[in-house]
Amino acid sequence: MLRVETKGRARALQILYAWELQGGARPIPAVVSGVARLTGPQPLVFDRAEELAAGVVNEVDSLDAELAQAAENWRMSRIAVVERNILRLGIHELRRGEVPPKVAIDEAVRLAHWFGGARASGFVNGILDGVAHTLGRL
21-29 CB contacts, 8 Å cutoff, 24+ apart: 21/81, 24/57, 24/60, 28/53, 28/54, 28/57
As a whole number of angstroms, the longest Cα–Cα distance in the chain is 40
CATH number, domain with residue 10: 1.10.940.10
The whole-number pLDDT of residue 44 equals 78
Residue 111 in contact with residue 10, Cβ under 8 Å?
yes
pLDDT in tens, the chain (138 residues): 788 899 999 999 999 999 999 998 899 999 988 888 888 777 778 899 999 999 999 999 999 999 999 998 888 889 999 999 999 999 999 999 999 999 999 999 999 999 998 899 999 999 999 999 999 998
With a CB cutoff of 8 Å and minimum separation 6, the contacts of 112 are: 82, 83, 86, 120, 121, 123, 124, 125
The whole-number pLDDT of residue 45 equals 86
The whole-number pLDDT of residue 76 equals 87
Number of domains in the chain: 1
Which residues span the domain enclosing 72? 4-134
